[in-house]
Amino acid sequence: MDHNIYLIGLNHRSAGVDVRERYALTNIEEFESGLLELGVREVMALSTCNRVEILIVCAPEITQTNILEYWAKRCCGSVTELEPNTYCHDGLNAVKHLFRVACSLDSMIVGEPQILGQLKDSYRKAVEAGAARVIINRMLHKSFFVAKRVRTETSIASSAVSISYAAVELAKKIFGELEGQRAMLIGAGEMAELAATHLL
């Protein structure tokens, strides 16, 4: 084979909030572009509050360590801090992990619907930037197909809730009825928006 496929990442299981925040990708297009300049053939990165996933197609001489070094440098961190908090899958294991993520089997709340939309958005941006090409195209389209089958042919989506919904329900269990109570939301992203919706 003249290329390797890697999926390198960190998530809520492998890293604490402080590490996830420090190594979150704020400018994904620039991050992907830098990897292409290093000789990576294709790349797609996903960065959410609970995970960073970097899917890479590269020549055999580019190693997982090269990718970790680049990632750490871009985030003003160190490989010695980053590496123990990450997982690295290659070949078929990378594809299997991607499917688990797309199906929300790897999510903090199994079955939550947001991750598939976030994955589709990251994929679209990588295609538009020219970073995702033939191999990543095939992998992502197959992962979307698998995710759709899992959602329609199993009961995974029957009780699917977002983290924000679960947080509001927990608050109700602790404080009773929330009507007339004050709440403070920290953050301005999609999860904060969903929490505000569930609070109303």
Catalytic residue numbers read 49
CA distance 44 to 61: 19
Largest Cα–Cα distance of the chain, in whole Å?
A: 63
CB of 164 closer than 8 Å to CB of 191: yes
CA distance 2 to 86: 25
In three-state secondary structure terms, 142 is helix
CA distance 131 to 123: 9
**Residue 27 CB coordination number (10 Å):** 11
